[in-house]
Structure 1
Amino acid sequence: MAMMRAISKWDDLCFQNLTESGLYLDQVEERILRFIAKDPQGVYQFIIGTDSQVHRQHTKFVTGIVIHRVGRGAWACYRQMAVPRQLTSIREKLLLETSFSQRVATYFDETALRRMEQILLPYARQGSLLDTFIDIDAGIKPASNKTAAYVEEMVERVESMGLYAPRVKPEACVASSYANRYTKQ
């Protein structure tokens, strides 16, 4: 069921997880569809999120893609990318993190999401469901979070896409937990 995509457009978007590497987005989609098909009566959250970490000579960005079968497991993968300079502006880091998530989300457009939903559709009356999110690694509590000043701007960017609901900390677990884990390596 692999869709042929223009490799040149997506060739730098190679993902991995603990068991596989070198996964291009069409292969990621295949894995997601297979995961959903194993339990089409489930409730699913499809989530994309990016986190970054400043290192000595670069800033490392990690974008995670997670299909979460609520209460019953998940399949996930991530992509690493380094910007060859230290980013010190919180706003610039958040803009890049959000942009990287949005770039991946453009692959998982209405057509790709419809393929996921078609597996669940026969079981809709039994409660099957697919929610879609982009996690933003920012929090709304200004006293304890330097990112709070930029939350509204990032939320508006995600909402303007139309297909994904934005989530911020503490709900933004793909950005703040899953992707975060790999930024430190």
Structure 2
Amino acid sequence: MKLYTRTGDGGQTGLYGADRVSKASARVDAYGTVDELNSAIGLARAHGAGPLDADLEYLQNALFDVGADLATRSGSPYEKNVSRIDAQDVQFIEALIDRHAEAAPPLRNFVHPGGTPAAAALHVARTVARRAERDVIRLLQEEEANTHVQVYLNRVSDLLFAMARAANHAASMAEEQWAVKGRR
């Protein structure tokens, strides 16, 4: 099978269910940013996420479900093949956040994104998750989509922040705190 189909050369792409939409649509933006987030997590894993790796692998698989959810309109004949994100998925992510947040000292100030290469990559992934959430909010303003996805992505960004802090703490990497102008 060839990787190119030429079906998107005119600026359209197919949703799961055969609908054709503009590649510039809010729906394509949303699942495209989720794909970018998945790649950013892959980069963090490539930097050696150690004990975080299994949860990051879970998250990458879950983000494929998020992308499929966003790429499938309600009522699509293929909807039965898609695992929709729900409140239980959000609760699962919240449990991961709590576990990883406990692996680092209590947060008392804003911290600079950075630290170890894996932690820095997780911070980048966190910002991509925030953008994906904004893209889903934009989609929800334009058409029907699963509202649980927006909440899920919000929690994913929190999870990635907690994981970045845990990665730095495990490596004994001190976090740089925000120095407010005038208090240097």
Q: TM-score, normalised by structure 2?
A: 0.30
Of structures 1 and 2, the one scoring higher in RCO (CA 8 A, sep 6+) is: 2
More helix by share: 2
Which of the pair is proportionally richer in strand?
1
